A = this chain, B = another copy of it.
């Protein structure tokens, strides 16, 4: 077994930054680690595994000698460059939405379907969108024993899901509004205050400070947001349940990092809160925080920056058979993105 060469494409971004942190702190199985971003970042010096590495501009040659390439770049950059990297011999792990539903590209969550990573006719493995990923470890564990049939999901999505620009926008908006103790009490007052202080362009279609925004992604037929359909289609593919019933509403909230989901889940078999607790406690990457009488439930502020999927508020849905309601939190940059990619990369690395 030799130590494979790893390339991180998009190393300067929100996910890329966490990616560097993660490969620096997990068991080091890598030979060279190459950092790549846009020509704008070429020559920048970034740290990984405690060493300074010069960032290279994305070009075909950066893949020479690369065994595994993790792509954390916008969809259109992945669409162009992932096939180039794969053709040049790298196993590509791609975090964009571009290849996820391609039948020849496995969509992998190592806790749920690690075996799928080995069957990759295009030399590409996709990692799911961060909202789906935030609940997958937990729902996968419950599905394995009780057979998932239906999911109704409402999301509370962090702004860093829109990258570095998303976090910057929330910090900017909060700074522009803080100190005004009348803000948020009159229709449009937040918009007006921001218009005076910040540029109009925002990663979000409405103010996100002192607000929630029921929109994530691009417009799809029937009034759906792309993120809502991803949650449906990716859950089906990862869990291997082609007829899983899913309805989702995706909502952006003023949280920097960590997505939360309110999940209403119907199973094939009878399931109690105690059953769910047993399964979730046994799941290695899930942490159960469920004692609300004593104030114990997960919140983004308490779990951000950590690896597990946190589950709380598990309740029997009194009016629905075989159904639980629960609340899940997961760091969208770690398990929701960089960590899942690192785990896939480590799976693939064992082949070298």
Contact = CB atoms under 8 A, between A and B. Distances in A.
Interface residues of A, number: 77
Interface in A165-202: 171, 174-175, 177-179, 181, 183-191
Contacts of A152: 152, 264
Contact of A174 (B174, B219, B257, B260): B174
A264 B247 contact: yes
B302 A206 contact: yes
A247 B323 contact: yes
Interface in A320-334: 320, 323, 325, 327
A215 interface: yes
A41 B155 CA distance: 42
A255 interface: yes
Contacts of A177: 174
A215 to B, nearest CB: 6
Interface string A142-168: 000000001010101000000000000
A327 B178 contact: no
A22 interface: no
Interface stretch (A31-39, A101-109, A115-123, A290-298): A290-298
A282 interface: no
B251 A262 contact: yes
A273 interface: yes
A128 to B, nearest CB: 19
A312 interface: yes
Counting from the closest, the 7 A-B pairs by CB-CB distance are A154-B154, A184-B256, A178-B178, A245-B319, A154-B262, A249-B262, A211-B301
24 contacts: A152-B152, A156-B253, A186-B305, A190-B301, A207-B301, A210-B254, A211-B299, A211-B300, A211-B301, A212-B253, A215-B292, A215-B295, A219-B292, A222-B273, A223-B273, A232-B319, A245-B319, A247-B264, A247-B318, A247-B323, A249-B264, A249-B313, A251-B260, A254-B254
